[in-house]
């Protein structure tokens, strides 16, 4: 039961932080969103910063886990890249609140974001470096700085979701429909492949 309550708190906090940003959310609001009282939150977390750090750590854990899963795949470069883009776009689609939090906080206004990101930075790029080093012998693959490859790929996955509401309005159609997302996955994969494959 305690794990269940902790999860309810984290989900409520994730939604609140996504809608308003860290600075604008208080413990009472998280408690109200979770359907609990403030005292219960303090039983599970020392303060709002602790809740926020846990939300961020879970997100980075998931992102690292996806990259690790990708690194274990025995696939040729092209299908591997397409698989990776599919996984990250699906993750973002299923975790829109997390995307909002990251967009709110990319400016590193809080030390919490910097601390959590620093903890995961080396882990994340170590997997990428090892994966690319293992594929050095793949013919036709350019040697690219892993950091630049990951930043470009993640950026292309994220940007679609941040501008989708505008294009919903301009075009009058759901940019997050399965058909539109499939089209975006293909576009991102094609763009990435053009950059990493020697033609």
Residue ranges matching CATH 1.10.10.60 in the chain: 1-45
* Whole-structure pTM value: 0.81
Structural class in CATH, domain 52-196: mainly alpha
Compute the C-alpha angle 70/182/83, nearest 5°.
Answer: 10
Max Cα–Cα distance, the chain, nearest Å? 61
**Which ranges in the chain are annotated with CATH 1.10.357.10?**
52-196
* Blockwise average pLDDT, block size 10, the chain, 199 residues: 86 92 90 91 91 89 89 86 92 89 68 77 81 68 75 86 90 92 92 75
Cβ atoms of residues 49 and 26 within 8 Å = no
Q: Can you give the pLDDT at residue 199?
A: 59
Please give the pLDDT value at position 8: 93
Q: Which long-range contacts (CB under 8 A, 24 or more apart) does 14-19 make?
A: 14/55, 14/97, 14/98, 14/101, 15/97, 17/52, 17/55, 17/97, 17/101, 17/104, 18/96, 18/97, 18/98, 18/100, 18/101, 18/104, 19/100
| Residue of 180, 176, 182, 157 whose CA lies nearest to 85 | 157
Q: What is the DSSP letter of 197?
A: B
The domain over range 1-45 is classified in CATH as 1.10.10.60: yes
DSSP 33: H
């Amino acid at each position: 039961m305690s794990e269940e309550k902790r999860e309810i708190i984290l989900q409520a906090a994730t939604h609140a932080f996504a809608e308003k940003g860290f600075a604008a959310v208080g413990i009472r609001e998280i408690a109200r969103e979770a359907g609990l009282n403030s005292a219960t939150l303090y039983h599970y977390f020392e303060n709002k910063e602790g809740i926020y750090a846990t939300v961020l750590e879970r997100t980075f854990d998931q992102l690292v886990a996806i990259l690790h899963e990708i690194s274990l795949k025995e696939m040729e470069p092209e299908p591997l890249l397409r698989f990776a883009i599919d996984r990250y776009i699906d993750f973002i689609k299923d975790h829109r609140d997390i995307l909002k939090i990251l967009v709110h906080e990319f400016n590193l206004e809080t030390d919490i974001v910097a601390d959590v990101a620093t903890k995961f930075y080396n882990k994340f790029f170590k997997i990428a470096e090892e994966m690319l080093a293992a594929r050095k012998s793949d013919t036709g693959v350019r040697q690219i700085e892993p950091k630049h490859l990951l930043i470009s790929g993640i950026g292309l996955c994220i940007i679609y979701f941040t501008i989708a509401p505008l294009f919903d309005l301009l075009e009058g159609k759901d940019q997050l429909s399965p058909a539109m997302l499939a089209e975006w996955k293909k576009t991102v994969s094609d763009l990435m492949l053009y950059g990493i494959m020697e033609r």
